[in-house]
Amino acid sequence: GKDGAVVALDPSNGDVLVMTSSPRFDQNDFIGGISSKKWKALIEDPGKPMTNKAIQAEYPPASTYKIVTALAGLEEKIIDINTKEFCSGFINYGKRRYGCWYKHGHGEVNVIKAIAQSCDVFFYKLGGKIGVDTLAQYAKGSGLGKSTGILIENERNGLIPTSAWKKKRFKESWKGGENLSIAIGQGYNLVTPLQLAVFISAVGNGGTIYKP
């Protein structure tokens, strides 16, 4: 009864164990020609049953992207395992207040605790130091924002934004506050469920990205 997708991969080799998209449709309806009534119902269904959401739906990665931000911060030596930030439940940036999902604040957290508790404030601060272009470098290096190469047609690429992309797309410069949204997987970020499964598999297996 839900719209979406489920993907499960074997992280040791990239084998696809589960890949399903919902809602589905009966392919037998196309044998001998589908009726105009059924075709109309399919193309007008708000759940988009003819879209394979595992490889064609593009979603903001949300808090899963915090792992990318953590990787970038560690690799660029902006933080280490002992770096701590205090989360009071929000930070002020310019004239805007950016809230953490936990409004009471997580207190003092390092990168491991920040991932475990999904602390927005830790990653707001880290993303502001890293910047969109370096984050994009690590996101793309992690397999996001590009085809996985799975042997199924019409796979979508998603989108990992850069300052140059925004300038070309909107004729506007990248704003500092946008780094905060990007760092927690919001903003212009778009990925497919399969891309995320490939990425998380690489995290789980020690860093190898397998073609699914």
Would you list the DSSP string of 192-204?
-HHHHHHHHHHHH
Residues serving a catalytic function are 63
Cβ–Cβ under 8 Å, residues 13 and 210: yes
Angle separating helix axes 66-75 and 132-141, nearest 10 degrees = 100
Distance CA 174, CA 2 (A): 36
140 CB-near residues (< 8 Å, 6+ apart): 146, 160
